[in-house]
C-alpha cells in the first residue's frame, strides 16, 4: 500500500494521513457489499436513524438542487427521503457494488416509481467508485453520503472528486463513524491477540481538514455518541452481520479465531456489562461543506476577487 503524503491541518500541524486511514481492503469490502445485499435478513436500523438525523440538519440549509447524488447509497438509498425535500430534483444513487443497486431498484415501492413518472423525474442507479465518479464537472448541486466514507480507503480523493462534480454553490453532506466506534469490541479482542478486528475510524477534525484540502469552504463538523445495548454477545454479532458490518482491514486475521481466544474475548466483553446489558458504542460524525469557485488559475496563480464600491 502506498503511503499517502501528509496534509496541513487547520492548527498548522501536519496530519499523518497514513495513521488516520482505515487501511480498508477495497476488494474485500466490495465482496461484502455484494453478499450482504443478496443475503441480508433485515435493514440497518442504525443507518436509518442516522439518515433521519441528517435530514433534520438538512431542513435548516437553504438549497434548491436540480440534481442530487447519493454517494455510497447501498441497498436502501435515501432517494425517497430526499425526494420529499426536493420534489423537482433528478436523483442519482451510486454504489461500488452491483447487488445493492439491483436490490434498491427492484424493491422501490411502486407508488414511489409512479410519482417519479408523473412528475417527469427519473431515479438513476449507477455502479462506480466514489473516489472516481463517472460524472462531468459541476454535475450536481447536492451530494449526500450516509456512512459510506467509513469504507473509503482514503477520504481525501473522495472529497476531491465530490468537489469536482459539485457545482459552485453546491453542498456535500455526509455522516461516518468516528474513532470510538465499537471501542468495546476492539478492547475485548485486544485481550487475546494483536490483529485489528475493527476498522480505524477517522477523527472528525482530520476529516474537516481534508475537506478544506479538497477545495471545500466553511466545513461544519459535529459528533454524537450513540450507545446500543444487548442482552448477550450473540445479539451484537447478529446486528453487525445483518447490517453488513464486517472487518475488511488490511491487517486482519485471515484464519479463524481459536476456541480459547474466542472465549477469552467473550469473557473480556462480559466484564464491560453494565446494568445487565452489553454496550456497543457508535461515534457518529456529521459534516457538511460548500463548493466554492476556483482559488487558483490554470497556470497556478492565486485568484483574488475585489468588491467594487460604487461612488455616490
pLDDT score of 19 more than 60: no
What lies within 8 Å, CB to CB, of 76 at 6+ separation is: 43, 44, 47, 48, 104
pLDDT tens across 166-220, in order?
999 999 999 999 999 999 999 999 999 999 999 989 999 999 999 999 999 999 9
Residue scoring higher pLDDT (23 or 218):
218
pLDDT score of 270 more than 80: yes
As a 3-state breakdown, the chain gives helix, strand, coil percent values, each rounded to 5, of 35, 25, 40
Look at 44-53, 79-88, 105-114 and tell me which has the smallest mean pLDDT.
Answer: 105-114
Q: Which domains does the chain have, with CATH numbers?
A: 22-291 (3.40.50.150)
pLDDT score of 20 more than 60: no
CA distance 149 to 178: 11
Query: How many Cα atoms sit within 13 Å of 238 on the Cβ side?
Result: 9
Report the run of H or E that residue 90 belongs to, with start and end.
strand 90-95
Read off the pLDDT of each residue in 129-139 and give the average, rounded to a whole number. 96
What is the reported pLDDT for 142? 98
pLDDT score of 18 more than 90: no
CA distance 53 to 173: 12
| Entry pTM | 0.84
CA distance 94 to 100: 10
Band of the pLDDT at 122, cuts 50, 70, 90?
low
CA distance 167 to 159: 14
pLDDT score of 22 more than 90: no
Read off the pLDDT of each residue in 72-92 and give the average, rounded to a whole number. 90
What is the reported pLDDT for 49? 94
Phi, psi of 82 (to 5 degrees): -70, -35
What residues does 174 pair with on adjacent strands?
145, 287
Query: What's the Cα-to-Cα distance from 142 to each of 64, 233, 285, 292, rounded to whole Å?
Result: 9, 39, 19, 13
pLDDT score of 6 more than 60: no
SS3 of 244, please? Answer: coil
What is the reported pLDDT for 301? 65
CA distance 230 to 280: 8
Band of the pLDDT at 119, cuts 50, 70, 90?
low
The segment with the largest mean pLDDT, out of 37-46, 238-247, 290-299, is: 238-247
pLDDT score of 308 more than 80: no
Measured between alpha carbons, how far apart are the two ends of the chain, in Å?
Answer: 63
pLDDT tens across 227-244, in order?
999 999 999 999 998 888
Amino acid at each position: 500500500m502506498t503511503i499517502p503524503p501528509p496534509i496541513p491541518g487547520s492548527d498548522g500541524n501536519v496530519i499523518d494521513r497514513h495513521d488516520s486511514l482505515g487501511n480498508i481492503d477495497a476488494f474485500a469490502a466490495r465482496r461484502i457489499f455484494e453478499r450482504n445485499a443478496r443475503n441480508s435478513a433485515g435493514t440497518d436500523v442504525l443507518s436509518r436513524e442516522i439518515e433521519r438525523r441528517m435530514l433534520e440538519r438538512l431542513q435548516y440549509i437553504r438549497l434548491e438542487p436540480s440534481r442530487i447524488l447519493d454517494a455510497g447509497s447501498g441497498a436502501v438509498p435515501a432517494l425517497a427521503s430526499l425526494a420529499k425535500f426536493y420534489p423537482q430534483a433528478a436523483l442519482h444513487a451510486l454504489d461500488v457494488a452491483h447487488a445493492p443497486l439491483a436490490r434498491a431498484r427492484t424493491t422501490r415501492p411502486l407508488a414511489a416509481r409512479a410519482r417519479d413518472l408523473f412528475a417527469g423525474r427519473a431515479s438513476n442507479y449507477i455502479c462506480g467508485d466514489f473516489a472516481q465518479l463517472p460524472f462531468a464537472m459541476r454535475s450536481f448541486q447536492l451530494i449526500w453520503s450516509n456512512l459510506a466514507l467509513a469504507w473509503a480507503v482514503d477520504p481525501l480523493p473522495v472529497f476531491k472528486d465530490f468537489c469536482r462534480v459539485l457545482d459552485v454553490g453546491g453542498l456535500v453532506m455526509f455522516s461516518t463513524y468516528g474513532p470510538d466506534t465499537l471501542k468495546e469490541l476492539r478492547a475485548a479482542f485486544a485481550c487475546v491477540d494483536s490483529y485489528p478486528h475493527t476498522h480505524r475510524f477517522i477523527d472528525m477534525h482530520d476529516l474537516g481538514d481534508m475537506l478544506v484540502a479538497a477545495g471545500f469552504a466553511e466545513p461544519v463538523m459535529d459528533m454524537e455518541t450513540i450507545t446500543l445495548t444487548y442482552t448477550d454477545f450473540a445479539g451484537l454479532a447478529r446486528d453487525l452481520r445483518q447490517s453488513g458490518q464486517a472487518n475488511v482491514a488490511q491487517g486482519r486475521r485471515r484464519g479463524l479465531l481459536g476456541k480459547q481466544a474466542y472465549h477469552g474475548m467473550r469473557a473480556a466483553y462480559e466484564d464491560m456489562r453494565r446494568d445487565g446489558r452489553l454496550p456497543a458504542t457508535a461515534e457518529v460524525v456529521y459534516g457538511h461543506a460548500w463548493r466554492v469557485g476556483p482559488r487558483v488559475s490554470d497556470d497556478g496563480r492565486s485568484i483574488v476577487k475585489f468588491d467594487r464600491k460604487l461612488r455616490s
